[in-house]
Amino acid sequence: MNQAKRCNGARTWVSVLLGLILVAGLGRSALAADKAYKVGAVFSITGTGSFLGEPEKKTAEMIAEEINKKGGINGHPLELIIYDDESDSTKCNLAVKKLIKTDKVPVIIGPTRSGESLAVVSVAEESNVPMISCAASFKIVSPIESRKWVYKVAGSDSHVVEKMYEYMKSKGIQKIGIMSDSTGFGSSGREELLRLAPEYGITILADERFGDKDTDLSAQLTKIRSSQPQAIVSWSIGPTQVLSV
């Protein structure tokens, strides 16, 4: 991702966050002129998702610091409360509940990954607390009629698959092999690859899975190679996907 895209991503965060703070969350109750606006956040700062969660944490802190240096929001300083879900869905669930019930934040940024995000969608919805996921699975915000309090800033995996298949079709690629990891991101992407393939005349010859902590993908790659695909799609996150190159 180039620098321009990183900046655009940060601006997207700020725009969505401020909109939710001013409209959905903090408008619920009047605050003293100098009282801080609380914003909760849950990131995968440690664990297998830390390569995403750690920079997200630093970005959120940087933005909050910048806002406060400019006088806050309508004179109110921003208080950022961050928890580490350790890349674990159960711990993420506990962290989100703590932000809502104990810290009483009106809005939450995160979680980092699709699996953890999907694990807490119901918590945000039942509590009527806006949650802005950093993850990609379209299931986070679908079906729309039951996702009134959940948003996300990453592009949906379904849209990415559509564009990928459009490109393959334009290049005459009709037979592929797919690899996906066992994370929520990998599972959701795999479902979209399988679901949309017939619409583009694409046949999936091999469908292999692997864990996000695996250190050897030889067996999966051997099976895919033996199916003689024209292309291979590796839908995964983290260091493990490098082994498929």
Please tell me the predicted confidence (pLDDT) of residue 155.
82
Structure confidence at residue 10 (pLDDT): 47
Tens of pLDDT along 26-68? 555 455 556 888 999 999 999 988 999 999 999 999 989 998 9
Hey, do 3-152 and 157-244 end up sharing a CATH topology, with the first three levels equal? yes
Question: Is CATH 3.40.50.360 what the domain over 157-244 is classified as, yes or no?
Answer: no
Q: How many CB atoms lie within 10 A of CB 138?
A: 19
Nearest residue to 56 via CA among 163, 160, 121, 133 = 133
Ranges of the chain whose pLDDT falls below 70 = 1-34, 244-245
State the pTM of this model. Answer: 0.76
- The full set of domain ranges for the chain reads 3-152, 157-244
| pLDDT for residue 31 | 54
* pLDDT at 4 (0 to 100): 46
**Class assignment of domain 3-152?**
alpha beta
Peptide bond into 111 cis (omega under 30): yes
- CA 124/CA 108 separation, integer angstroms: 9
- Specify the pLDDT at position 242: 73
Instruction: Return all residues near 111 (Cβ < 8 A) that are at least 6 apart.
Output: 42, 43, 44, 85, 92, 96, 117, 120, 133, 134, 135
Distance between alpha carbon 1 and the CA centroid of its chain, in Å? 16
